Every structure is written in C-alpha cells, then in structure tokens.
C-alpha cells in the first residue's frame, strides 16, 4: 500500500488544492508563483534530484547565503519531497554542514561535484509529473545552525511534527482575501527564516514577498500592498534608512511589523511607529533550540527591556540552578513548548543525549519576572558589562548613544575588563579611518560624558554580524584585546 502524504508535503498539497491560483511567492526578477505552480515545480525539481541519486533519509546541504528566497524555497521543498533532509548552510562550503554526513550539496551555481540550484530549476520545467512524496524514516525535517554569536556553530535537527502541529492552517478556514506579507533580513538558514517565515507563510496561504535590498523590498511592497512586515531589528533599521522611498499610501496599509532575532533598538522602534502610523511593532522572543516556543510583546519605548508574555502553548520562567525564582529576582530565562519536544543538537550526524530536562531549554539570557507577569531581559550572560551603576546590557548603552549620532551610523558596544573593578565601554564604529563622516562620529562618541561614556572608540571597515544581524560581540572583544596586546591605539 502506498504511503499517504504527510508532513510538509501534505501541507503543500493541501494549500495547492484549496487555493490553486493564489499567489504564494513574489520576488523581483521572478514571475509571481501560484500554489499550483509551486507544487508542480517542486515535483519536477524533486524528480531531477532523484535522478542525481538523492533519496530518502539522505542529508543534502543547501548553501543558502547567495540564494534568493524563491530559489531557496523551491530547492528546500524538493529535497523534503523526496524524504531527504536539508542541511541549511549559512555560508558557502560550510565545514560544519559537511561534517553531518551530507553526501550531496546544492549551491546557487553548479561546481565540481556540486549541483546548482539555478540549473536544477531551469531543468524543472515542462509537463506535470505525479511524483509521490515520502518522509524521512525518523520524521526528520531539516537541520539548521544556531546563529554563531558564541563563535561556535551548533547544528540543530527538527522534525515535521515539531513544526507542523503548531502552524495556523489556512485550509481549515474559509477562503478569504489573500494577505500580503513581506519579509527581509531573516536568513533562510536560520530557524526564524525557514520555520518562522517560510513554513508559517505557506501554512497561512499568504502572498510572501521578498527582495534582496531595502529599496527593492519597498517597491515590491508598494506594488503588492503588503500589510505585514517580518524583519530582524537590523534589517528593519536598514529599511528605515530609506524612508524617502516609502510612500504614504503604502505606509498607511501596514498593520503589523514583526521582529525576530534580537532586541529592537529604541530609536528603530520609534521610527518604525512614526513611518508606519497604523502598524503595531511586535517583538518575538525565542531561540532555535526551543522550536516554536515564543514570547511576544508590542514594542513600547518606555519598556525596552520587556520580552512580554509567552504565546499560548509556551511556558517561560526565570531560574537559578534549575529552581524557579520569585518576581524581581534575576536569573536565567528558560522556555518550553507544551507537548512539543525541543529540537535536538547534533554531533557528527547523531542526536545528543537529552540535554533539555523536562523539555526546558535554557537560553543563556538573564532576566526577571515583573509583578505584572511580564519577563524583563537583563542581557546575555556572557555579554553584560559590569559598570559602577550595575550590570548593563550592551544594547542599553547603544540605545543611549544612538540619538547622538547620525541615523546611518553603524556601531556596536562591548565591555572589556579594566585595571579597576569595573568594565570599560568600547564602541566600534563601521567606516574608514580617513573618512570625514566616520571621524565626526568618533569625535561625537569621545565627547560623551556620564555613566555611558566610552573609554575607547575603534573604527572597523564593518561590524561583524551574524546572519540575523546581531553584532558578534565576542569577536569584537577579541579584536580589541589583540589590538591592546599589540600596543595599537584604540
């Protein structure tokens, strides 16, 4: 008896059956992709992959960095259709992905021993094929990597069940007018991208709009009438540097701006509310290993440290050595999704022993529970600065410094030990040391007085960031220490 469609392939089949002519993908340079066309192209691409020897339970590395969103989604779904498991590499020829037993690689363009997504999709044209989908034997869906802020990429495996049981299914509701949702800056290789954006958009049957640059995204949003934006704080900031391109008609249509991947800087959140006057800026808090466990808050400039309350099905608590702390006491934030196990870390292709007791995932973030039930974020345990005024997160200092600088200034704060008992504030500025604009920013920072006055200001060609735009503060601290040891001025 043939296997019945299940998991993600079933979701795609259901969407195509319910809304065959609904546009699911919009990307500059691509024809708009309907649900029917997406299903047909995925089946044809899967057939080509099978002809190349890819089959059930194979791990297939997809190099995502240079792929457009439509190219990525077609390749990802085609691999999953065969019951193979995509390993989503954030960089080309990503060594940690190769260590997981992936015998096949999909890259944007073909090279020796590597399949090209461009060539695969060019071949995946012609008459429809009736290729039945299968699932990996253990139900595995994909492998993503944590964002790398610690300096070590960690592979995390998830299953179809962990994601699909939490998705809002459009096919179970009445057919309604298509909602247009745009996104930018949320990388496909991150869980927030493939799971939080791709799967959620597919399940909701929305028209998902993506573009490679802020100006292109703004133009596509105005053309399609996007009513939601899904961004990282860094990509939202980049979009808002082009406010002159955002017309009042489209700006008035936007109702929700969702952010993932870090704290929204106060200046960015306020400018988003000013630019999109009818939109709520919604901040989502979570981490890869916790899967769909999320906290949510509406941005409030008066409460920038709050991560809000857990979404239905999610539990959040503050702990010390595994014991819950009362309101007001600072400890580590732990999250759990009710009834859905956390994602698994992998080592050499195999799942590690259970490191999430009772399903709780420890985030590495410090916070406290307020009397009103909201969780307030103190900061990353390894990134906090110990100042005379108390423990302070780098983003708090950045929020204080940002209004003093030009809006386009890109900078990041770290703390380094001093000869005394308190940390020193170091500010890194992106630019060129002989550039007048950069020198002006440096002068402004060196003139700052008060508790957040920088002890050192350094210039880099660019701020090293993760795929989601978070500053790699560990790398910045190491650069500062190396310069200090070499006797170089900073």
* Tens digits of residue pLDDT in 122-155: 877 777 788 999 999 999 999 999 865 555 788 9
Say if 419 falls within a structural domain: yes
Q: 400-437 pLDDT, tens per residue?
A: 999 999 999 999 999 998 877 789 999 999 999 999 99
* Residue range 336-345: mean pLDDT, rounded: 83
**Rounded Cα gap, residues 484 and 490, in angstroms:** 8
Angle at 3 between CA 14 and CA 70, to 5 degrees: 40
* Residue range 154-179: mean pLDDT, rounded: 73
| pLDDT at 464 (0 to 100) | 94
Q: Which two tokens stand for residue 302?
A: 């008066």
In the chain, how many domains are there? 2
Indicate if 343 and 447 belong to the same structural domain.
Answer: no
Q: Which of 316, 345, 369 is the last residue of a domain?
A: 369
Closest by CA position to 297, among listed 352, 374, 406: 374
Name the β-bridge partners of 414: 426
Query: Are 480 and 458 contacting, i.e. CB atoms less than 8 angstroms apart?
Result: yes
| pLDDT at 174 (0 to 100) | 45
Q: What is the CATH number of the domain that holds 406?
A: 3.30.300.30
| pLDDT at 150 (0 to 100) | 56
Q: 94-110 pLDDT, tens per residue?
A: 988 888 888 899 999 99
Identify the top-confidence range among 165-179, 236-250, 379-393. Answer: 236-250
| pLDDT at 255 (0 to 100) | 97
Q: Which of 312, 345, 369 is the last residue of a domain?
A: 369
Say if 1 falls within a structural domain: no
| pLDDT at 276 (0 to 100) | 98
pTM: 0.90
Indicate if 318 and 346 belong to the same structural domain.
Answer: yes
DSSP-derived letter for residue 263 is P
Give the Å distances, CA to CA, from 392 to 15, 356, 474: 47, 28, 16
Closest by CA position to 185, among listed 129, 151, 122, 236: 236
Q: Poorest-confidence range of 73-82, 302-311, 443-452?
A: 302-311
Say if 236 falls within a structural domain: yes
Query: Are 217 and 210 contacting, i.e. CB atoms less than 8 angstroms apart?
Result: yes
Indicate if 196 and 309 belong to the same structural domain.
Answer: yes
Q: Which of 304, 334, 369 is the last residue of a domain?
A: 369
Instruction: For residue 186, name the pLDDT band (cuts at 50, 70, 90).
Output: very high
Return the number of other C-beta atoms located less than 10 Å from residue 306's C-beta. 21
Instruction: Kindly tell me if the per-residue pLDDT of 291 is higher than 90.
Output: no
Q: 217-266 pLDDT, tens per residue?
A: 999 999 999 999 999 999 999 999 999 999 999 999 999 999 998 889 99
Indicate if 21 and 148 belong to the same structural domain.
Answer: yes
Instruction: Kindly tell me if the per-residue pLDDT of 27 is higher than 60.
Output: yes
Indicate if 328 and 424 belong to the same structural domain.
Answer: no
Instruction: Kindly tell me if the per-residue pLDDT of 172 is higher than 70.
Output: no
Indicate if 333 and 399 belong to the same structural domain.
Answer: no
Q: What percent of the chain has pLDDT over 70?
A: 93
Closest by CA position to 446, among listed 463, 434, 459, 435: 459
Indicate if 427 and 350 belong to the same structural domain.
Answer: no
* Residue range 191-203: mean pLDDT, rounded: 93
Domain of 361, in residue numbers: 7-369
Indicate if 41 and 135 belong to the same structural domain.
Answer: yes
3-state secondary structure of 174: coil
Instruction: For residue 4, name the pLDDT band (cuts at 50, 70, 90).
Output: low
* Residue range 162-185: mean pLDDT, rounded: 73
Indicate if 300 and 391 belong to the same structural domain.
Answer: no
Instruction: Kindly tell me if the per-residue pLDDT of 168 is higher than 90.
Output: no
* Residue range 321-329: mean pLDDT, rounded: 89
Say if 376 falls within a structural domain: no
| pLDDT at 151 (0 to 100) | 59
Instruction: Kindly tell me if the per-residue pLDDT of 28 is higher than 90.
Output: yes
**Rounded Cα gap, residues 138 and 143, in angstroms:** 13
* Residue range 297-314: mean pLDDT, rounded: 87
Say if 118 falls within a structural domain: yes
Instruction: For residue 466, name the pLDDT band (cuts at 50, 70, 90).
Output: confident
Say if 105 falls within a structural domain: yes
3-state secondary structure of 482: helix
Indicate if 332 and 433 belong to the same structural domain.
Answer: no
The backbone region for 481, taken as left when phi is positive above 0, alpha when psi lies in -120 to 50, beta otherwise, is: alpha
Indicate if 466 and 319 belong to the same structural domain.
Answer: no
Indicate if 13 and 161 belong to the same structural domain.
Answer: yes
* Residue-averaged pLDDT of the chain: 89
Say if 89 falls within a structural domain: yes
Give the Å distances, CA to CA, from 264 to 282, 305, 378, 469, 489: 10, 10, 14, 11, 32
Q: Mapped to the 3 state alphabet, what secondary structure does 13-62 carry?
A: HHHHHHCCCCEEEECCCCCCEEHHHHHHHHHHHHHHHHHCCCCCCCEEEE
Q: Which two tokens stand for residue 294?
A: 């999320």
Say if 312 falls within a structural domain: yes
Instruction: Kindly tell me if the per-residue pLDDT of 476 is higher than 50.
Output: yes
Q: What is the CATH number of the domain that holds 274?
A: 3.40.50.12780
């Amino acid at each position: 008896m043939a296997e019945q469609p299940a998991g993600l392939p079933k979701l795609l089949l259901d969407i195509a059956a319910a809304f065959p002519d609904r546009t699911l993908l919009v990307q500059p340079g691509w024809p708009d992709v309907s649900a029917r066309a997406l299903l047909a192209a995925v089946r044809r691409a899967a057939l080509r992959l099978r002809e190349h020897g890819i089959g059930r339970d194979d791990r297939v590395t997809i190099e995502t960095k240079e792929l457009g969103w439509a190219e990525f989604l077609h390749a990802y779904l085609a691999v999953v259709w065969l019951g193979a498991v995509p390993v989503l590499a954030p960089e080309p020829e990503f060594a940690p992905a190769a260590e997981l037993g992936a015998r096949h690689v999909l890259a944007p363009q073909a090279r020796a021993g590597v399949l090209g997504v461009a060539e695969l999709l060019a071949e995946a044209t012609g008459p429809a094929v009736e290729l039945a989908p299968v699932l990996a034997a253990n139900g595995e869906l994909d492998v993503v990597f944590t964002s790398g802020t610690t300096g070590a990429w960690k592979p995390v495996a998830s299953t179809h069940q962990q994601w699909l049981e939490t998705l809002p299914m459009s096919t179970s509701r009445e057919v309604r007018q298509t909602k247009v949702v745009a996104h930018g800056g949320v990388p496909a290789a991150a869980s927030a991208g493939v799971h939080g954006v791709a799967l959620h958009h597919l399940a909701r049957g929305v028209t998902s709009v993506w573009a490679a640059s802020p100006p292109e995204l703004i133009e596509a949003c105005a053309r399609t009438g996007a009513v939601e934006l899904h961004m990282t704080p860094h990509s939202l900031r980049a979009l808002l540097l082009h406010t002159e391109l955002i017309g009042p008609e489209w700006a008035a249509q936007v109702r929700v701006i969702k952010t993932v991947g870090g704290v929204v800087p106060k200046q960015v959140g306020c400018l988003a509310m000013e630019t999109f006057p009818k939109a709520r800026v919604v901040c989502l808090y979570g981490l890869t290993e916790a899967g769909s466990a999320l906290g949510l808050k509406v941005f409030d400039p008066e409460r920038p440290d709050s991560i809000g309350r857990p979404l239905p099905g999610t539990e959040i608590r503050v702990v010390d050595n595994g014991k819950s702390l009362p309101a007001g006491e600072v400890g580590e934030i732990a999250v759990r999704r009710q009834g859905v196990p956390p994602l698994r870390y992998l080592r050499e292709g195999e799942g590690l022993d259970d490191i999430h007791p009772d399903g709780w995932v420890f985030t590495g973030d410090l916070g406290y529970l307020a009397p009103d039930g909201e969780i307030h974020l103190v900061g990353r345990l390894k990134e906090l600065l110990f100042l005379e005024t108390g423990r302070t997160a780098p983003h708090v200092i950045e929020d204080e410094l940002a209004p003093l600088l030009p809006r386009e200034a890109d900078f990041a704060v770290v703390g380094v030990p001093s000869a005394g008992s308190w940390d020193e504030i170091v500010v890194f500025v992106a630019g060129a040391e002989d550039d007048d604009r950069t020198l002006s920013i440096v002068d402004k920072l060196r003139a700052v007085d008060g508790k957040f006055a920088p002890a050192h200001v350094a210039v880099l060609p660019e701020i090293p960031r993760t795929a989601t735009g978070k500053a790699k503060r560990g790398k910045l601290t190491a650069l500062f220490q190396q310069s200090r040891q070499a006797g170089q001025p900073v």
